[in-house]
Structure 1
Amino acid sequence: MNILVTGSSGWLGQHLVPRLKKAGHRVVGFDPVPGPHTDVVASVTDRPSVRTAIRGNAIQAIIHAGALHKPQLATHDSGEFVSINIQGTMNLLEEASAPGSPVDRFVFTSTTSLMVSRQIREAHRRGVHRAFWIDEEMGPLEPRNIYGVTKFAAEHLCRMVHDTSGLPIVILRTGRFFPEEDDMAHEIIQSDANIKANEFLFRRLTVEDAARAHVVALDRAPQIGFDTFIISALTPFSPEDCDQLMEYAPLVVHRYFPRYREIYARRGWTMFDYIDRVYDSSKAMRRLGFVCSTDFGDILTQMDREDGVVDTPFSRVPWAS
């Protein structure tokens, strides 16, 4: 299959493009930043370049992973987020669904961040006593920043184009897999690696799993038609844990992983005192047939090895030191 991947020079693209090529696909990487997996150096805001890339390469499928992301809130203004994340997505969707287009499926990389309102973000500070259980049915959605607002708007564009054209579109709301320092680092005392490990309990996945989810979504899109999925490591928690997760999370974690304190203590690591939200990715397991291969239990197992080496995800990312 001929596949156009936007964001091919980005963190996800660097892992996704080689995986697609290994599976036998012909991939055209599209990104404004040159890179080893990028064939077309252009922005999705440049519609003629989008059209040429699709028509000139007989593209049959598009994975739209290119966007301005949350870490770039500090370096880009709101207008750039609107232009790239909304108008850029519309350019791709309209060219993909235009008469005579060879495209027969579209996968859109969205984010769980758009599901987090200011109320959720500030829950502990506001005295909320129960963690939020977040699944695809939660609403109304009230994104708290321009990143979330533009990704939510782009999701609506995906739905609109599917409804009018019938183009199969799968939206993946991915949890955290970026290598940058976590935005909670200023609030808590754990090291960056400690924070990221903790997050595998409720809102993180490896970039390898993120890439694999896109491959699965691409394959399943024609059968699914249109749907939205949270993509994150399966949480061990249930909604019944939400009260105690906000009250004192280490007790809940200990209930599911009795040896975690011992394993953590060897590295001088600790658990968050509270967890204010949990992403439920079980719909992806049921309907998409996808489950992340790395979860919190896997990380504990690797940390418990006699040599103390953690292969995944720590040794392959910049924050592993």
Structure 2
Amino acid sequence: MRVLLTGSTGWLGRYLAPMLRAAGHEVTGLDVAPGPDTQVVGTVADRALVERTMLSHGIEGVIHAGALHKPDIVRYPRQSFVDVNVTGTLNLLEEAAAAGVERFVFTSTTSLMITQAIRDETASEAVWLDETSGPLQPRNVYGITKRSAEEMCRLVQSETGMPVVVLRTARFFPEDDDTHRALSGENMKANEFLNRRLTVEDCAAAHVAALDKAPAVGFGLYVVSAPTPFARVDVAQLKSDAPGVIARYFPDAAQVYADCGWQLPSSIGRVYDASLIERDLGFRCRTDFATILAALRDGKTLPFEHDPNYTSPAQQNSFLACD
């Protein structure tokens, strides 16, 4: 299949492009920053460019992974988020439908599910988050524009019948968290595999699976995160005594962490449930907290990327980010 991949120079794109080719697809990359997997340099906000690319490359499937992200809030005005994340998505959807594209996958974010109250962890128990969670009240322009783009996907699919799958991806960025500095970056990332993280490789694999299954789904929206070991009955204790809950599932976790000089979370305020994508599409992330713990226990390389100095190629090249 001839696939248009937006955000092809970005963190996800650099893993997704070769994975698509390995699956037998012909990939055309579109990004504002040049890169080895980017054949078209430009922005999805340029409708004419999107149309030309779609037609000249005979595109049959689209994976729209390009966007302005949460760290870009300090660099770009809100209008830029609307132009790229909303108008750009609409451009792709409508031009894809007009060109007879067979399937469309949109990279969204679990961030749009996090209200300010969830972010502040004001509840007495952990918040269990899945595709039915709401009401949705995104707390910043990134989340608002991603939520709007999701609804554009739903609207165009219902009007045209073009199969569309929306993936609300959990954290997979390599850099340190820009709001939490209490733990080392690797310790923080490892902890998040309990409730709100996945590897970039698993994220890419989820997109390939969604592209494959889209015609059977019609329209689908899925949370994509490493499978949590927890159950809904754990939410109260997760908030008050996370180590106690973790010990039930992983009896040696505290000792393994202590041997590494690491800390388990004392409290967990939210849990992402990614079970629906496994039921509907047969996709399950390969790396979970058990994998992390096994690597620590055996002294092996951690199975996730950590780069505290990572900056996007678009930022490095002073382009309007689209990755």
Which interval holds the TM-score relative to the shorter structure?
over 0.9
Which segment is superposed worse, 246-255 or 145-154?
A: 246-255
Deviation for aligned residue 1:184: 3.9
Contact 2:237 2:245 in 1 (8 A): yes
TM-score scaled by length of structure 1: 0.94
Structure 1: 4+ residue segments shifted above 6 A: none
Contact 1:185 1:192 in 2 (8 A): no
Tell me how far apart the structure 1 counterparts of residues 179 and 187 of structure 2 sit (CA, whole Å): 12
Tell me how far apart the structure 2 counterparts of residues 257 and 71 of structure 1 sit (CA, whole Å): 34
Tell me how far apart the structure 2 counterparts of residues 77 and 251 of structure 1 sit (CA, whole Å): 44
Tell me how far apart the structure 1 counterparts of residues 300 and 70 of structure 2 sit (CA, whole Å): 30
Deviation for aligned residue 1:263: 0.8
Partner residue of 1:132 out of 127, 139, 146: 127
- SS of aligned partner of 2:12: helix
Deviation track 1:70-117 (CA, whole Å, cap 9, x = no partner) reads 12222222111111000000000110111xx13110000000000000
1:212: which partner in 2?
Answer: 205
- SS of aligned partner of 1:304: helix
Tell me how far apart the structure 2 counterparts of residues 45 and 253 of structure 1 sit (CA, whole Å): 45
| RMSD of Structure 2 on Structure 1 (CA) | 1.2
Partner residue of 2:104 out of 103, 106, 110: 106
Paired residue total: 309
Alignment of 1:197-276 (within 5 A): 197-276=190-269
Contact 1:44 1:50 in 2 (8 A): yes
Find out whether 1:30 has 2:21 as its counterpart.
no
Tell me how far apart the structure 2 counterparts of residues 36 and 204 of structure 1 sit (CA, whole Å): 27
Deviation for aligned residue 1:190: 1.2
Higher relative contact order (CA 8 A, sep 6+): 2
Tell me how far apart the structure 2 counterparts of residues 76 and 200 of structure 1 sit (CA, whole Å): 30
Partner residue of 2:141 out of 146, 151, 162: 146
Partner residue of 1:312 out of 279, 285, 303: 303
2:316: which partner in 1?
Answer: none
Deviation for aligned residue 1:311: 4.2
1:155: which partner in 2?
Answer: 150
Structure 1: gaps (5+ residues): none
Tell me how far apart the structure 1 counterparts of residues 175 and 142 of structure 2 sit (CA, whole Å): 16
Tell me how far apart the structure 2 counterparts of residues 138 and 312 of structure 1 sit (CA, whole Å): 30
Deviation for aligned residue 1:119: 1.1
Find out whether 1:42 has 2:33 as its counterpart.
no
Deviation for aligned residue 1:272: 1.5
- SS of aligned partner of 2:107: strand
Tell me how far apart the structure 2 counterparts of residues 54 and 159 of structure 1 sit (CA, whole Å): 21
Contact 1:55 1:102 in 2 (8 A): no
Tell me how far apart the structure 1 counterparts of residues 159 and 180 of structure 2 sit (CA, whole Å): 44
Percent of pairs with identical residues:
51
Deviation for aligned residue 1:319: 4.6
- SS of aligned partner of 1:88: helix
2:20: which partner in 1?
Answer: 20
Alignment of 1:41-80 (within 5 A): 41-80=41-80
Deviation for aligned residue 1:210: 0.2
Contact 1:2 1:26 in 2 (8 A): yes
Contact 2:176 2:307 in 1 (8 A): no
- SS of aligned partner of 1:79: helix
Contact 1:193 1:319 in 2 (8 A): no
Tell me how far apart the structure 1 counterparts of residues 232 and 186 of structure 2 sit (CA, whole Å): 27
1:79 aligned partner, one-letter code: Q
Deviation track 1:248-283 (CA, whole Å, cap 9, x = no partner) reads 211111111011111111211001111100000000
Structure 2: gaps (5+ residues): 310-323
1:164 aligned partner, one-letter code: E
Find out whether 1:177 has 2:172 as its counterpart.
yes
Tell me how far apart the structure 2 counterparts of residues 145 and 249 of structure 1 sit (CA, whole Å): 28
